Chains A and B, each alone.
Chain A
Amino acid sequence: MKILVCMKQVPQKDAPLKLNETAAWIRDDVSYEVNEPDAFALEEALRQKEKHTGEVVVITSGPPRSQQVLREALAKGADRAIHLEDDAFVGLDAFNTAKAFAAAIKDEKFDLIFTGLQSDDYGYAQTGVILAELLGWPHATIIMHLEKTASGIRVKRELEAGFFQFVDMPLPAVLTIQSGINKLRYATLIGIKQAKNKPIRKVLLAEVQSAIGENLQKIERLYVPQKTKKTEQIEGTPAEIAKKLVDKLRNELRVL
């Protein structure tokens, strides 16, 4: 099976974020990491390849720093990478990001495309489904299991309130992968070494420019959310804090 995994570099979970001068995006000088659901998507692709043979290709868009997620994926076992490299890709909406990806892979023939179910920065949960529609492929979202069948694949979708559902579908297809579908592997030293010789194809903005258009939505402003709840800070030494909390539990919340 030939599988493409869409990956994204996002600010680290506990990175303090500051607004930039436009007040519509964050300052770039933070630590980044791979979007967590995308790491599970990559792991699932590697496992499928180990079971059925094939190829795993990873793709991302963003400035030079975002190449790091591709390097890590190659070190874990991906065969090659595609990097849509330009600062401008950061500002694209999901519709145009999917269009840029579709243009960058137009000469490829994948059986499956995986994305994480959503990103930790925008959290739109849309790019994978949009890409499926642009390619004319079927899709399924929030996948917790995947197996090959005679006519295609059978996937297990996670639904709300503890429900699941199996869905049979033909290939090629796009799947958005849920965190926790598998256990992530670490890159080995040998893997890191081998990754240095694996190809990364760079795609410049100009090559996909004709495929993308104006954004269909716009972030007018970004801000620290206003608190709606009154929060009382409990401060002191650990022993003092413990005593104060027990006092609240007993006298204000009446649960002790």
Chain B
Amino acid sequence: MPHTILIVVEQREGKLNRVSWETVTAGQAIAAATGWTLEAAVVGSSTSGLAAEVAAKKIAKVYAVESPKLDPYTPDAFAAALKQFLTAKQPKLVLMPHTYQVRDFVPKLATAMGRTVISDCIGFKHENGKLLFTRQMFQGKLAADVSFTSDAPWFATFQNGAFRGDQAEAGASAAPVETVTVDIADGVVRTQPQELFKEVKQAVDLTQAEIIVSVGRGIKEQKNIEMAKQLADALGGEIAASRPICDSGWLPMDRQVGSSGQTVAPKLYLALGISGAIQHIVGMKGARAIIAINKDSEAPIFEIADYAVVANLFDIVPPLIEEVKKAKAGG
């Protein structure tokens, strides 16, 4: 019997997350490299429709893991359900997207089984029969290839955008779907989640902006934000920021780009003093062109920049504003 790879896809309010398809693509790639069998699981209170959707992909089998106690999501119920299911199935490798929900329960699940998670991976390698998972370290300055030294099941999660969801291969015919009812005892779930909500209606929709000038810690002081705004105005773009700037209250939260803010894909993303931590990059790497100005030549933002300016932004931005104004005036 070949080993099995099990993907656990994620749903929210009855719809599969986009990143779930990225995990399917990752699973298909690992299955192709190793020759292992690929299966998937959908976890929730009523999942047969979603399971059928996943079964259309090139996957050997799909499980609908169900219990009324799985809705709404709690880490206690999800860990209990998956522990039961995985203990019975014994897959070699379990793959999930590195979402906030997965981060919330997968370390608990793995620990309950005496196993470990290689989290937030961006790729994998299969070298001489050994499976390695690549992940970013030190905020993306370095990368590491990490192996499992424990028994199966091995758990790995993939970063948003690590694989292309639209490259998930369709199957020749629909995969069989099996419903597995798990038993979650009373008292297992100790937390009481309330309804999801949004803080305020987002005033600015950065996703529609064609040009974004974004500031990071390199802007140093609140009063310097004005200079970046002038550049954004001159270019006819929107001002945005990385998380620390919004945390400090220098720009409102709805100007934040990154995993906890907005995901943008403008024609031009001009990054001023942004180092390029992973949490920021996932929100802007889809930009058509990236110009980065940063005095630290090792800043990870330069890894994804199309144009790199290694310099003090306070030297560059004022003449840049003047040149842009001149160009706009037809000069």
Chain A: residues with CB nearer than 8 A to chain B? 11, 13-14, 16-17, 19, 24, 26, 93-95, 98, 120-126, 129-130, 132-134, 138-142, 158-160, 162-170, 178-180, 214-225, 227-235, 238-239, 241-243, 245-246, 248-250, 253, 255-256
Chain A residues with Cβ below 8 Å from B235 are 249, 255-256
Interface string of B287-331 (1 = CB under 8 A from A): 011010000101100111111111100011011101110111000
- Cβ contact of A166, chosen from B150, B194, B268, cutoff 8 A: B194
Interface residues on B, range: 35 or more
Which of B44-52, B84-92, B196-204, B221-229 lines the interface with chain A? B196-204
B196–A159 touching, CB < 8 Å? yes
A24 to chain B, nearest CB (A): 8
Closest to B314 in A: A238
**Interface contact tally, CB-CB below 8 A:** 238
Chain B residues with Cβ below 8 Å from A225 are 136, 140, 142-143, 303
Chain B residues with Cβ below 8 Å from A168 are 191-192, 194
| A169/B138 contact (C-beta < 8 A), A214-B149, A218-B146, A255-B235 known | no
Which of B1-9, B55-63, B110-118, B168-176 lines the interface with chain A? B110-118
A121–B138 touching, CB < 8 Å? yes
Chain B: residues with CB nearer than 8 A to chain A? 75-76, 79, 99-101, 103-105, 107-108, 110-112, 115-120, 132, 135-150, 190-199, 202, 210-211, 217, 235, 243-244, 246-247, 259-262, 267-268, 275, 278, 288-289, 291, 296, 298-299, 302-311, 315-316, 318-320, 322-324, 326-328
A250–B116 touching, CB < 8 Å? no
Distance between Cα atoms of A38 and B137 in the complex (Å): 18
B143–A169 touching, CB < 8 Å? no
Closest to A159 in B: B100
B247–A229 touching, CB < 8 Å? no
Distance between Cα atoms of A168 and B194 in the complex (Å): 8
| A13/B194 contact (C-beta < 8 A), A141-B103, A234-B307, A250-B327 known | no
